[in-house]
Structure 1
């Protein structure tokens, strides 16, 4: 009962809708980070070219060791443990041994471009597996919760515990308080299970 009630409390249709929105926002953010980082890498290259070819120079960072040191100024652990070793390395190995700032930013851009957004737990995976919202989202979340608790050593749910399609349908109707005209039946559960096997995991590739 704790498994069922907690699923109903924390995986309502509104919560599932927010999860979908969060996923979409994360995909969009990674794309935006990639775009902006590539642009920044290009600007850093242009600035270096002007420093080297024009009669002007701006007193800006070009050494990754300096950047790390300044960015970590408020980090007591860095100051205590890493600052001196890093400074010694920076003094021992000149810039040809370290990545250029534009290369670092370009790596961040490429990492964001290739990033895959995945669900962090089985319930989120089940609830957001399809692209369009429906009652099937909660049905899958409920079944994922049962499977997850059934596998636990101290969950109290036997490993061979199974619920019929009718029982699952009744739980869905009660837990998310569906109105009479929108209640689901065993056919809904059977179809959800069948479609769930055909759905790809919620692995959302950037730019897809």
Structure 2
């Protein structure tokens, strides 16, 4: 990516002049700006954000299935408990949540060394009425998955995936968010009033993402994008 930005210097000459004019007087601001340009293009490009949307949708689906299956398992555990107590038959399955925790920690040496002794003391000190049943334990997992709120783990991914479809706008939105994140008002190195012109931003997008001719961003594209974002944020 760096080689591409250097090789296409003629195409980026105007953008480089603008960036230098606006940032050269600020300590390390030029380096910070280029670092954010490169990292955004490397990790928040349209292809990666397309994959991120797929992962987000899969996470939603996985939690939906957990909600259903954990609820069903809770019902079955509750039914099994009733059969053990009233049918005249019983099995040697776990009936205490602490039994499950201890058995599941069998191959965790840290549990045995640091937690096990204190855990067993509590286990034997307090009988079943002080602990959730296996059915209640599973129902909590079901409710937890049902009530989830999916959020991006960082502001750039949040910005890049706000639209429903992947496009070069993902990069632009993330790059603008990265510039804001690196501004002096957020304790960064970039001036808080930094605004890259539409022409310069279009050139940076085209070269950083190595867009094909039919995909090139224009100054008008950037202008319209910014206008839509202002309208969206004002709602």
Normalising by the residue count of structure 2, what TM-score does the alignment of the two structures yield?
0.79
Instruction: Give the number of the structure whose alpha-carbon radius of gyration is greater.
Output: 2
Which residue of structure 2 lines up, in the alignment, with residue 101 of structure 1? 134
Q: What are structure 2's unaligned runs of at least 5 residues? A: 1-33
- Equivalent-residue separation in structure 2 for 1:25 and 1:84 (angstroms): 40
Which residue of structure 1 lines up, in the alignment, with residue 157 of structure 2? 124
- Equivalent-residue separation in structure 2 for 1:198 and 1:79 (angstroms): 57
- Equivalent-residue separation in structure 2 for 1:184 and 1:114 (angstroms): 40
User: In structure 1, which of residues 78, 95, 120 is the aligned counterpart of residue 111 of structure 2?
Assistant: 78
Which residue of structure 1 lines up, in the alignment, with residue 101 of structure 2? 68
Which residue of structure 1 lines up, in the alignment, with residue 51 of structure 2? 18
Correspondence 1:187-202 to 2 at 5 A = 187-197=220-230, 199=232
Which residue of structure 2 lines up, in the alignment, with residue 88 of structure 1? 121
Q: Considering only aligned residues, what root-mean-square deviation do their CA atoms show, in Å?
A: 1.7
Q: Cα gap change, 1:198/1:102 in structure 2, threshold over 3 Å: closer, same or farther? A: farther
- Equivalent-residue separation in structure 2 for 1:189 and 1:77 (angstroms): 54
- Secondary structure of the corresponding residue to residue 182 of structure 2: helix
Which residue of structure 2 lines up, in the alignment, with residue 144 of structure 1? 177
- Equivalent-residue separation in structure 2 for 1:118 and 1:77 (angstroms): 32
Which residue of structure 1 lines up, in the alignment, with residue 4 of structure 2? none
- Secondary structure of the corresponding residue to residue 150 of structure 2: strand
- Secondary structure of the corresponding residue to residue 159 of structure 1: coil
Contact in 2 for aligned 1:150/1:157 (Cα 8 Å): yes
> What is the number of residues matched between the two proteins?
199
Which residue of structure 2 lines up, in the alignment, with residue 38 of structure 1? 71
Contact in 2 for aligned 1:129/1:199 (Cα 8 Å): no
Residue 75 of structure 1 deviates from its aligned partner by: 1.8
- Equivalent-residue separation in structure 2 for 1:30 and 1:111 (angstroms): 9
Post-superposition Cα deviations, 1:134-182, rounded to whole Å, max 9, x if no partner, equal: 22111101111212222464x5422332211222112111111222232
Larger fraction in helix: 2
User: In structure 1, which of residues 157, 160, 169 is the aligned counterpart of residue 190 of structure 2?
Assistant: 157
Contact in 2 for aligned 1:37/1:109 (Cα 8 Å): yes
Residue 197 of structure 1 deviates from its aligned partner by: 4.3
Query: Which sits farther off after the overlay, 105-114 or 8-17?
Result: 8-17
Which residue of structure 2 lines up, in the alignment, with residue 206 of structure 1? none
- Secondary structure of the corresponding residue to residue 124 of structure 1: helix
